[in-house]
Amino acid sequence: MKTDLFESDHELFRQTVRGFVERHVIPKMEKWDADRLIDRDTWLAAGQQGLLGLAVPEEFGGPGETDYRFRVVIQTEIARVGASALQSGFSTNDDIVLNYLLRHANSEQKSRWLSGFVTGETIGAIAMTEPGAGSDLRAAQTTAVRDGDEWVINGSKTFITSGMLADLVIVFAVTDRDLGSRGFSLFVVEDGTPGFTRGRKLDKVGLHAQDTAELFFDNVRIPAGNLLGEVGGGFGYLMQSLPLERLGIGIAGQVSAEAVFDWTLDYVKDRRAFGKHIGEFQGLGFTLAELQTSIEVSRAYIDRCVREYNSGTLTAVDAAKAKLWGSELQGKVIDAGVQMHGGYGYMMEYPVAKAYIDARIQRIYGGTNEIMKEIIHRDLMRS
C-alpha cells in the first residue's frame, strides 16, 4: 500500500516484528482460538523482542519511544496474518491502559507498574463498560467510597478485553454522584485483591482468541495510593485518552482492510470460472478498483492523523472520524472479499472468513460509530 509514513528506522523495526509474527504468532493462532486465550509466553516473547511498552520512559525500564509510527508497524504486521485478537490485546495494553498510566500515574505508581508493560509480564485491562452503561459512561453504577487510607469499590463491569488474564485493571467508578461529570474517578485494582473476581469468559461472535470477561468488585479494598490521578478527574481523563484509542481502532480497520484486499486480489487472480480468472470479469474488476481507491484515500487520512498524534495536535473529532471511517471501510472491504471468495469465503480455514467475524466489533467498541457521528455532528454545529 502506498504510504510515505515510514522511514528507514521503521522498516528495520518491521523486520523484527515480522520475525516475531512468523515464529510466535502464525504457529499458535489455531490453538489460541480453541483455548479462547492468548498464552502468556507470547506476551513475554513480544517483550523480549522489544515490541511492548514502547512509550515507557527509560527511567522506568522502557525505550522511551513516543513515535507512534512504530506502533503502526506492529499493527500492520499482525493484521497481515489476520491475528486480530492479538492486535486487540496489544492495543489495549499499549494504547489504552499504558496511556492512562503514562498520563496520570505519579512517580511512585510508575515505578510499581510500568516495567511489566515492557517485559510482557503485566497484562492490563480498562474496566469502563457495565451491563447498563456502555457508550453512556455517566450511567455507571460502580462506586468507590473513601474509608480512611483505603478506597472500597463495589460494582461490576462487562465486555472487558483481557479481563481473564489482566494483572492490573483500571476501574472507572462513581465517587460523588452529585458532582455530575466531576463525580467519577479512576482506580487501579491488582490481581489477587480480596473481593475482586472474574466471571464468565464471554463467548463472542469473533476475536475468539481475545479473552473478554465480566469483572466483579465486592467490597474491594485498595490503598489510597491506587487512586489514579485526582479524585473527580476520571471522566476528564477518559476524554483525554479516547482519541488514541479511537485512532488505534481506525488504524486496525485500515491495516485489516489492506490485508484482506491483498488476500482477495491474490485469490481472484488464481481462481478460474468460465474459462478465465474471475478477477477478469468486469463486475468484480470494478469493485476491486473502487475498493483500492477507497483504501488508498483512507490511508492518506489515517497517516495524517498519526502525524498529528505524534505532534500532539490530533483532535477528538478527527480521531472519531478515523475510527468511523476506518472501521466502516474495513467492513466494506471484508464483506466484498468474502463474496469474491464464494463458498470458500464462508469457510473458517480461509483467513477472510475469520477476518469477517473478527471485524464486526470494530464498529461497536471504543464508542459505537453512531456516537462517532454524534461527536462529528456536534462539532459541525459549533462551527
Residues carrying an active site annotation? 245
Considering Cα of 63, then 69, then 71, then 73, what sign does the dihedral take?
Answer: negative
Helix axes 84-91, 69-80, angle to 10 degrees: 160
Q: Which of 253, 312, 101 is nearest to 187 (CA)?
A: 101
**CB burial of residue 169 (10 Å; 0-12, 13-18, 19+):** buried
Can you spell out the DSSP letters for 73-94? Answer: HHHHHHHHTT-HHHHHHHHIII
Contact indicator for 142, 173 with CB cutoff of 8 Å: yes
Residue type, 79: A
Can you spell out the DSSP letters for 343-375? Answer: GGGGSTTSHHHHHHHHHGGGGTTTS-HHHHHHH
**CB burial of residue 155 (10 Å; 0-12, 13-18, 19+):** buried
d(CA 130, CA 155) in angstroms, rounded, equals 9
Contact indicator for 231, 261 with CB cutoff of 8 Å: no
d(CA 23, CA 28) in angstroms, rounded, equals 9
d(CA 79, CA 62) in angstroms, rounded, equals 25
d(CA 169, CA 28) in angstroms, rounded, equals 26
